[in-house]
Amino acid sequence: MRRRMMKSKIHRATVTDANLHYVGSITIDTELLERSDIREWEQVTVVDIDNGARFETYAIPGGPGDICLNGAAARLVQPGDRIIIITYADYEDA
């Protein structure tokens, strides 16, 4: 049986920008992407600790310290909000 389980997590990242006039996605510091094993274009779940919003988008690499919500998702967060970024993968039972 296959199970969907959490693969990666960036906990309590602080939103640095929210850019409504962009196609979509979340821009994440490239080093954070590498250290958390999240790839460019990978689907992510974003949970806003401050307002309870929860939504899905995809990751794109950014500069040092960048955590920027783009497009429609920018309406769901504010700069300074603390968020959790989660990815999932399917695994086979042993």
What structural domains and CATH numbers belong to the chain?
A: 2-88 (2.40.40.20)
pLDDT at 94: 76
Please confirm, yes or no, whether 25 is among the known catalytic residues. yes
51 touches 16 (CB < 8 A): no
pLDDT at 1: 95
* Residue found by looking up tokens 């962009």 in the block: 22
The pTM (predicted TM-score) of the whole model is: 0.94
Which of 23, 21, 27, 24 lies closest to 40 in space, CA to CA?
27
Tens of pLDDT, residue by residue over 70-84, are: 999 999 999 999 999
DSSP tag of 54? E
From 8, 25, 36, 88, active-site residue: 25
From 8, 58, 88, 91, active-site residue: 58
Phi, psi of 59 (to 5 degrees): -95, 140
Phi, psi of 93 (to 5 degrees): -65, 145
Tens of pLDDT, residue by residue over 36-93, are: 999 999 999 999 999 999 999 999 999 999 999 999 999 999 999 999 999 999 999 8
Please confirm, yes or no, whether 58 is among the known catalytic residues. yes
